[in-house]
Structure 1
């Protein structure tokens, strides 16, 4: 069976002026033959020889073979570069003569020319190869990571209901749950994260924050820096709204209260008149 989007070893069944035809066997009928254009035919190849090729569709929508190395195949997730954006979608450089189409409906953010873009390859209803940024069904759940491990990942989608979806190592399925997703995240952003849970199905729950006893020092330091920027007086205290604290400090209310309490115990700040003052 001829499989588009994959590499296959096929046999040379016929030579013509414009290339060679390949098939699964030498008896392959005309409908089961795939053309390898002449400019890609290796020297000295003969009828009956075997050749590894990648199958895709050319600009005329015909299945065709290539000996060029694609940057992405079915079952893989890779970062590719946007080469152009048109009325119906964008096009990616994937190492072949015909650029890879990324439809608007498969984008999780609007992309621009030269943007790096993490995508998977799929076959659309018309049998053509296309790219998608919706990676949930394409990421693996067999990561080697355990709770407490630190990992790197790329945000590929953001959900108001669930949180921030992350491709760990651009390979494994991860999620920053909604309650943990406090920062202003963006699709395509690369993060250093901590594994907080490994689900029964192998998917990873993640956090951009360290364990509370480690994170508290970092949060306290960021609060002191903010106070300095406000000339020694932060114009709100730990009773401020969660929205204000998230916008101004990038912290949840709980994290802010913990860090301010820590600073007060160390006698570095005091709360007065609804403001936080840095002690001299």
Structure 2
């Protein structure tokens, strides 16, 4: 009998916590707490069998969502570089390992504790349970078409496959999402990591292109963000201050020094959000706010 199978066994004994059931001469413990009513001697019980972390043969009548032939999201509970990652697949006193052979060659993008992987598990020839990642086609069966109004919205997406050019993700709503390597904020995301991202394109096929990079105004320092906000709210999108303005006037109007003002305006100009008219002031480019311009 392979672990992970669902079998029928007869109750032959019990103690304070468990019933003991038998099939083909093998005995399995079943927790009494799984039953609403007491079992009688010889009564048949159906459940899934496995060996727990204490090397005890057990049966559970409460089938986990993840089991042979069924996939689900399993959180990572431990990582061992010499073996792989241990996953909680819903079995009491038992974690299942996803082998390092099934993980990315680059350790930096291995999952960490708390990340989640879409997996199933099966027994090998020695009756050891091993997890396996869902094929890409299996995850694609989960996809639903994303609405157009998601453009520029914040979204959470989990990485299920890493490619050289970017990361394939799925959102909690079931939307397909892709983040190109140019849209990473820092290092390449881990397999199983949940990303905080924003939608930069809703494709015709209902999939999303997403970015980890902040919106233009979110990436600005405080002074630059304050000036951008003033320009956005001003009816003419104009501020009558410039690099030749009196320092006291800048201090009175903005509450910052002239050097802070020049540095902030320089940052906005570098991002092509404003333009400066010498001796006159600064204008918001195209009269748009940062979000509208980037969208």
Same fold? TM cut 0.5: yes
Shift of 1:236: 10
Residue matched to 1:130: 130
SS of the residue 2:216 aligns to? helix
Shift of 1:5: 4.1
Query: Structure 2 vs 1, CA of residues 132 and 37 (structure 1 numbering), >3 Å: closer, same or farther?
Result: same
Shift of 1:20: 0.8
Structure showing greater Rg: 2
Alignment gaps of 5+ in structure 1: 23-29, 239-255, 271-280
Residue matched to 1:37: 29
SS of the residue 1:116 aligns to? coil
Query: Structure 2 vs 1, CA of residues 182 and 131 (structure 1 numbering), >3 Å: closer, same or farther?
Result: same
Equivalent residues, number: 223
Q: Would you say 1:121 and 2:109 are equivalent positions?
A: no
Q: Is the 8 A contact 1:5 1:55 kept in 2?
A: yes
Q: Is the 8 A contact 1:107 1:134 kept in 2?
A: no
Residue matched to 2:97: 101
Shift of 1:166: 0.8
Q: Would you say 1:190 and 2:195 are equivalent positions?
A: yes
Whole-angstrom CA distance in 2 between matches of 1:79 and 1:223: 37
Whole-angstrom CA distance in 2 between matches of 1:61 and 1:173: 41
SS of the residue 2:42 aligns to? coil
Shift of 1:168: 2.0
Whole-angstrom CA distance in 1 between matches of 2:264 and 2:56: 69
Shift of 1:82: 1.4
Whole-angstrom CA distance in 2 between matches of 1:134 and 1:44: 38
Aligned-residue RMSD, C-alpha: 4.5
Instruction: Spell out, residue by residue over 1:21-72, the C-alpha distance to the aligned partner (whole angstroms, 9 max, x if none).
Output: 25xxxxxxx2xx7643155585324435444x23334569897522466473
Q: Is the 8 A contact 1:14 1:21 kept in 2?
A: yes
For normalisation by structure 2, the TM-score amounts to: 0.55
For normalisation by structure 1, the TM-score amounts to: 0.57
Alignment gaps of 5+ in structure 2: 226-259, 286-295
SS of the residue 2:144 aligns to? coil
Q: Is the 8 A contact 2:183 2:212 kept in 1?
A: no
SS of the residue 2:170 aligns to? strand
Whole-angstrom CA distance in 2 between matches of 1:125 and 1:47: 31
Query: Structure 2 vs 1, CA of residues 89 and 234 (structure 1 numbering), >3 Å: closer, same or farther?
Result: same
Query: Structure 2 vs 1, CA of residues 87 and 221 (structure 1 numbering), >3 Å: closer, same or farther?
Result: closer
Query: Structure 2 vs 1, CA of residues 197 and 5 (structure 1 numbering), >3 Å: closer, same or farther?
Result: farther
State which of 251, 259, 275 in structure 2 corresponds to 1:264. 275
Q: Is the 8 A contact 2:3 2:50 kept in 1?
A: yes
Alignment of 1:150-161 (within 5 A): 150=150, 151-161=155-165
